[in-house]
Amino acid sequence: MVKHTATSVVTIERFIIEQERLVPEASGALSSILYDIALAAKMIASKVRRAGLVDILGAMETQNVQGEIQQKLDVFANETIIKAMDHTGRLCAMASEEVPDIIPIPDNFKRGNYVLLFDPLDGSSNIDVNVPVGTIFSVMRKITRGADGEMEDMLQPGRRQVAAGYIIYGSSTMLVYTTGGGVHGFTLDPSIGEFLLSHPDIKIPTRGRYLSVNDSYEQFWDENVKALMRRYRGLDGHQKAMSVRYVGSLVADFHRNMLGGGIFAYPSNRQAPKGKLRLLYEANPLAFIAKEAGGAAYDGTEEILDVQPTELHQRTPLYIGSRDDIATAREFLSRQLATVG
């Protein structure tokens, strides 16, 4: 990573260019995908900021592919990302949590060598109570031979991601991303409309302070999960109790735990044997970031990044965060005393 002095102002554009120069064979395509995502993020941020002012809130009558009520801002975020990315010649297809099938590149635009998968506005049920929401994205290299991206390009294990990131629309807007050379965070300065480097080379503390889990599902958890949560809470006398923090907005919970250390868990339960979160749009990109920051992500059986996806909107249980806390999860969940179902 290029070193900057504490006083140098580094825009995301400058940072991406400098990172690209460190890789002599880079074509610039990935850098351009990242700029375009940053542009879409600014457009979404400005809309989210005004959410309480303009008549944009409220559920539309359509339901998204997961069967949940879509908020209008979801639709806006989804369309903004598609429009910012479809004409650039860098992508050969996209996939969104809000769209049932692969999103093709329109016929009149050039195709590129990458696919983009994204959750345009995660946690959108939180918007009308002014809780942070986020965008999550993942970039993979195309592996099929034709010009258009195919299902096989989308269903690659997370280990093959070449870039991943998230934007958190919180008290400030931040964009955090990795291309495999560490995790870097940028804060949007609204007065100049630029993302400025604020958190270079983020590392997750090896053991964390925070536990983020929705324990209203406890009655439906497997015994191993219950025992694991007792350990995290310090109830079995083996470790200091972690503090419970649950926003219910994945990006916000993940971001806090990445900076402060800890674990976010959405275990499988009897009502939802695969949990709630999506492998391709949520778990994989955050797992790549966690790994690059020195943390880990686990699905209760294997590393998230090793899971071979079988469908676009696949759900997965998720344990993600500090390395040692994930090791504890691995220890408890591999006991397999009882099964969920």
Interface residue list for ligand AHM (CB under 6 A): 68, 119, 122-124, 214, 248-250, 276
Nearer to ligand AHM, 92 or 320 (CB): 320
- Nearest approach, Cβ of 291 to ligand AHM (angstroms)? 19
Nearer to Mg ion, 122 or 153 (CB): 122
Distance CA 130, CA 126 (A): 6
Among ligand AHM, Mg ion, none, partner that 248 touches (CB below 5 to 8 angstroms by kind): ligand AHM
C-alpha distances in Å from residue 84, one per residue of 42, 113, 280: 11, 17, 20
Run of H or E residues at 120: strand 114-122
Residue 99 CB burial class (10 angstroms; 0-12, 13-18, ≥19): middle
Is residue 98 within the footprint of Mg ion (CB under 5 A)?
no
Length of the chain: 341
- Nearest approach, Cβ of 119 to Mg ion (angstroms)? 4
Distance CA 20, CA 39 (A): 19
Among ligand AHM, Mg ion, none, partner that 124 touches (CB below 5 to 8 angstroms by kind): ligand AHM
Given a contact cutoff of 8 angstroms between Cβ atoms, the answer to whether 177 and 285 are in contact is: no
Indicate which single residue of 20, 98, 119, 153 sits in contact with Mg ion (rule: CB under 5 A): 119
- Which two tokens mark 63? 């339901």
Indicate which single residue of 20, 74, 98, 122 sits in contact with Mg ion (rule: CB under 5 A): 122
Run of H or E residues at 211: strand 210-212
Tell me how many residues contact Mg ion (CB under 5 A).
2
- Nearest approach, Cβ of 276 to ligand AHM (angstroms)? 5
Among ligand AHM, Mg ion, none, partner that 146 touches (CB below 5 to 8 angstroms by kind): none
Q: What is the DSSP letter of 94?
A: E
Catalog residues that contact Mg ion under the rule CB under 5 A: 119, 122
